[in-house]
């Protein structure tokens, strides 16, 4: 893997940081861990420093509770309820209002998005969640019930009325709250009110909760390494564990997204609490954001599997000044890294090219593969591949074959090449058929294991191929 900007600080250190990368194909950073930590192989491309002496496997999923003799304070009694396995197995596909409308949201816009799912073929492509973000309630809870109250000027039929309309279309409904005293826009948060709010959301017919990280009281923050060095026992994690336990008490399952901005090593414990977790701050419709979040995510690919997804944030297709090529890369990267895909624009304004991108059946099939849950990972395409700001070559398996995705990060078109012998997962000597996933067609000819494949890729574009035996 070649991403020196991300490795520079590690390369200067004699030991990798706790929970940091310590090995993998092409890794040039530190390869030893602090005393009491082991460098554990997760896959060919990624090894990580984890607590424990040398030789520990690091691959098991812990089911122990937080209530152990070594823990004190709230960590000793915090709930350890795992997320529902009735939802969230695959990356969520849907829409979120924030990038399109911010606080200017109302029932009309939400229902319009739901209807657009039908008319634009998004539902048929697999999209199902219609998610309301911040700014939906009144500023004060109900004085008697203490429930959060939908703003009647925005939602005259309440959230339940919107959910009824969404469900009638065969779709699912999402809502937003915050693991602090107030949301990012200053509306009521759910910290300390988790049980009431979860029950309220459930009574309205909500299926999905995005749980943000604003306005956290000082006593609920983390200013040092948590107890036992386990971020699952941090104050940050416990705030999310409390809501997770409250959601688990409801009669219908919730998909739970931890909007924690990549804090508190969430990739290490997120799957014990929710189904997906944000890896960074908010998205932006810029090439810089797309490359930065890819660079962050490739450091934590071992966290991704069924019911366990690194969330690269809402899509920006249709927003800003992204070129079509950049929008293709935006979508493809979210697909091959198995991120949730939540469209974030006024859907009625998408053109036919943009619709074809976000409904591409073959890329979505990789994202939604029910047989293989792990993402594509960087690989060394050729012996002489250049160093780039983020990895450009990725390969991964699906139930349909081996896939290769290639990003051109340069500002001009460029020829990109990979040796078939270097593609992880290919078996046999060939011949192989190369299938263009964007176009849905096989390329002419066949290739052997000793072949090299070359293609001209436009600036900031991504090509996507499926390789199978002839």
The phi, psi pair for 201, rounded to 5°, reads -60, -40
CA 64 – CA 349 distance, rounded (Å): 49
Q: Is the dihedral of CA 197, 261, 38, 42 positive or negative?
A: positive
Q: Are 311 and 276 in contact (CB under 8 A)?
A: yes
212: annotated active-site residue: yes
C-alpha angle with apex 201: 199 to 204, nearest 5 degrees? 110
Nearest to 347 by CA among 170, 162, 173, 131: 131
Q: Which entry of 212, 268, 311, 461 is annotated as an active-site residue?
A: 212
Nearest to 467 by CA among 407, 412, 424, 416: 424
436: annotated active-site residue: no
DSSP for residue 447: B
Cβ contacts of residue 74 below 8 Å, gap of 6+?
235, 238
DSSP for residue 33: -
The phi, psi pair for 412, rounded to 5°, reads -130, 160
Q: To which residue do tokens 């047989």 refer?
A: 371
Q: To which residue do tokens 């896959």 refer?
A: 43
E strands along 302-439, which residues? 309-311, 341-343, 377-378, 393-398, 401-407, 414-419, 432-436
- Which residues participate in catalysis according to the annotation? 212, 282
């Amino acid at each position: 893997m070649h991403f020196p900007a991300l490795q520079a600080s590690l390369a200067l250190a004699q030991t990798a940081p706790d929970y940091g990368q310590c090995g993998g194909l092409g890794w040039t950073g530190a390869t030893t861990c602090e005393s009491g930590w082991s460098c554990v192989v997760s896959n060919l491309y990624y090894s990580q420093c984890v607590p424990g002496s040398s030789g520990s496997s690091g691959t098991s999923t812990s089911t122990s509770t937080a209530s152990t003799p070594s823990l004190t304070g709230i960590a000793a009694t915090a709930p350890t309820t795992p997320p529902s396995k009735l939802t969230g197995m695959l990356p969520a596909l849907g829409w979120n209002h924030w990038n399109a409308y911010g606080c200017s949201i109302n029932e009309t816009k939400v229902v319009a998005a739901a209807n657009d799912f039908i008319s634009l073929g998004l539902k048929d492509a697999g999209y199902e969640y219609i998610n309301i973000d911040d700014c939906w309630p009144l500023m004060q809870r109900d004085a008697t019930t203490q429930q959060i109250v939908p703003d009647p000027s925005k939602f005259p039929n309440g959230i339940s009325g919107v959910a009824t309309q969404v469900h009638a279309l065969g779709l699912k409904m999402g809502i937003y709250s915050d693991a602090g005293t107030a949301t990012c826009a200053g509306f009521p948060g759910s910290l300390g009110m988790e049980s009431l709010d979860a029950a309220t959301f459930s009574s309205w017919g909500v299926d999905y909760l995005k749980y943000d990280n604003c306005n956290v009281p000082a006593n609920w923050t983390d200013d040092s390494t948590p107890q036992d060095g386990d971020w699952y026992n941090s104050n940050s994690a416990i705030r999310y564990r409390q809501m997770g336990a409250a959601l688990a008490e409801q009669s219908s399952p919730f998909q739970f997204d931890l909007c924690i901005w990549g804090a508190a090593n969430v990739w290490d414990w997120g799957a014990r609490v929710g189904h997906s977790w944000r890896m960074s701050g908010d998205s932006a419709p810029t090439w810089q954001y797309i490359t930065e979040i890819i660079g962050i995510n490739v450091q934590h690919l071992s966290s991704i599997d069924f019911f366990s997804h690194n969330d690269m944030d809402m899509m920006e297709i249709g927003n800003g000044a992204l070129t079509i090529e950049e929008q293709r890369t935006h979508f493809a990267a979210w697909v091959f890294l198995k991120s949730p895909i939540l469209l974030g624009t006024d859907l009625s304004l998408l053109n036919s090219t943009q619709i074809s991108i976000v409904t591409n059946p073959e890329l979505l099939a990789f994202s939604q593969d029910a047989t293989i849950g792990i993402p594509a990972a960087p690989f060394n395409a050729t012996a002489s591949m250049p160093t780039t700001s983020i990895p450009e070559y990725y390969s991964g398996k699906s139930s349909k074959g081996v896939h290769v995705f290639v990003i051109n990060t340069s500002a001009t078109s460029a020829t990109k090449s990979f040796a078939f012998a270097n593609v992880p997962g290919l078996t046999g000597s060939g011949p192989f058929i190369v299938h263009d996933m964007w176009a849905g067609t096989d390329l002419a000819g066949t290739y052997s294991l000793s072949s090299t494949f070359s293609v001209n890729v436009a600036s900031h574009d991504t090509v996507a191929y499926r390789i199978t035996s002839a």
